[in-house]
């Protein structure tokens, strides 16, 4: 059996298939990499990545934690996570984004941060700052991959271990809000995230849906997940709720209408708003631009700003 040096505070021993990329990026005294013996499996499966901090205090400076959930993929969950973070930032808040959608880490591209390196400090991983003012920080598995085309082919225990490392070993510093972008559905990855974040009393979950009956049905299960895990629902957001004509301003309901609001009313949870289909929003995400700053006259801008204001109103007493 290979031997490893255990660092004094806490060592997390996790099989890590991206050892070569991480070893090139290592900095500081709190990381140690070792390589196990090759066996019958591929050699890469025997790499070990050890983070030697894991101090519970890494989230002590975070005032509010919001998990963004969706019952199915393709509803724009990562879009809402990104724009919520940007809107909170423009409201004067310091914001972090934790991207735990391990198999589809799209937020680095949406914020034009792909290819950035993750470094180490005495407190753990240092998140990537996506703006010059350092008011938005981001941590994503996308920063740990050798190339954007690389797939994360892991079983559940390995994914859960990395999610727990992200929660315990990222040095966020002082944040007003941490937005956690989760995978679609209700899997053990969601359980790992909720359990790891529970000691920090998350503000709750923001659930994203589209107006179609199929999506709304999946969100019902997402709300059941929140109820069973004791996670408060901050509210439901209906994305892609209609297309506003740029010439006459008439709204066409491409994907039905009102499903998200009806579901929220039926479930007894807040409805935060409807975000229309907006080509300018799509373009801003493709180009990594700040939609809230650059497109204040866009049809989606009022909806996203209103959603952020409703989130801000959820816990005014804890902001002091």
310 is in an annotated binding site: no
How is the beta sheet containing 12-15 ordered, strand by strand? 12-15, 47-51, 31-35
78 is in an annotated binding site: yes
Rounded to whole angstroms, the Cα distance separating 101 from 111 reads: 15
103 is in an annotated binding site: no
| Tokens encoding 200 | 């920090």
57 is in an annotated binding site: no
| Tokens encoding 50 | 């050890």
75 is in an annotated binding site: yes
190 and 71 in contact (C-beta within 8 Å)? no
Annotate 84-99 with b (16+ C-beta within 10 A) or e (fewer). bbbbbbbbebbbbbbb
CA dihedral of residues 52, 190, 175, 270 (deg, nearest 10): -170
| Tokens encoding 167 | 């929660």
230 is in an annotated binding site: no
121 is in an annotated binding site: no
52 is in an annotated binding site: no
Q: Which residues participate in the annotated binding site for [4Fe-4S] cluster?
A: 245, 248
Q: Which residues participate in the annotated binding site for ATP?
A: 71-78
Q: Which residues participate in the annotated binding site?
A: 71-78, 245, 248
């Amino acid at each position: 059996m290979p031997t490893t040096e255990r660092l004094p505070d806490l060592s997390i021993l996790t099989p890590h298939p991206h050892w070569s990329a991480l070893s090139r990026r290592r900095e500081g005294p709190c990381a140690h990499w070792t390589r196990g013996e090759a066996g019958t499996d591929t050699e890469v499966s025997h790499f070990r990545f050890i983070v030697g901090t894991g101090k519970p205090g890494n989230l002590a400076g975070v005032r509010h934690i919001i998990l963004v959930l969706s019952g199915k993929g393709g509803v724009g969950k990562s879009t809402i996570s990104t724009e919520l973070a940007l809107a909170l930032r423009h409201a004067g808040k310091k914001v972090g984004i934790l991207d735990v959608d391990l198999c589809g880490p799209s937020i680095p591209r949406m914020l034009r941060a792909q290819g950035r390196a993750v470094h180490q400090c005495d407190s753990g991983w240092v998140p990537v700052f996506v703006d010059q003012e350092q008011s938005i920080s981001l941590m994503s598995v996308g920063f740990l991959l050798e190339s954007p085309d690389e797939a994360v082919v892991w079983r559940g225990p390995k994914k859960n271990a990395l999610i727990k490392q992200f929660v315990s070993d990222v040095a966020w510093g002082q944040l007003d809000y941490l937005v956690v972008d989760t995978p679609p559905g209700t899997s053990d990855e969601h359980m790992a995230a909720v359990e790891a974040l529970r000691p920090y009393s998350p503000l709750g979950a923001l659930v994203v849906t589209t107006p179609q009956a199929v999506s709304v049905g999946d969100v019902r299960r997402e709300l059941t997940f929140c109820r069973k895990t004791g996670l408060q629902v901050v509210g439901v957001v209906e994305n892609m709720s209609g297309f506003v004509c740029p010439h006459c301003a008439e709204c066409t309901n491409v994907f039905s209408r009102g499903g998200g609001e009806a579901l929220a009313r039926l479930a007894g949870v807040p409805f935060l708003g409807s975000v229309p289909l907006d080509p300018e929003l799509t373009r801003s995400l493709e180009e990594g631009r700040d939609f809230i700053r650059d497109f204040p006259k866009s049809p989606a801008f009022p909806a996203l700003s209103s959603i952020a204001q409703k989130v801000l109103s959820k816990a005014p007493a804890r902001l002091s």
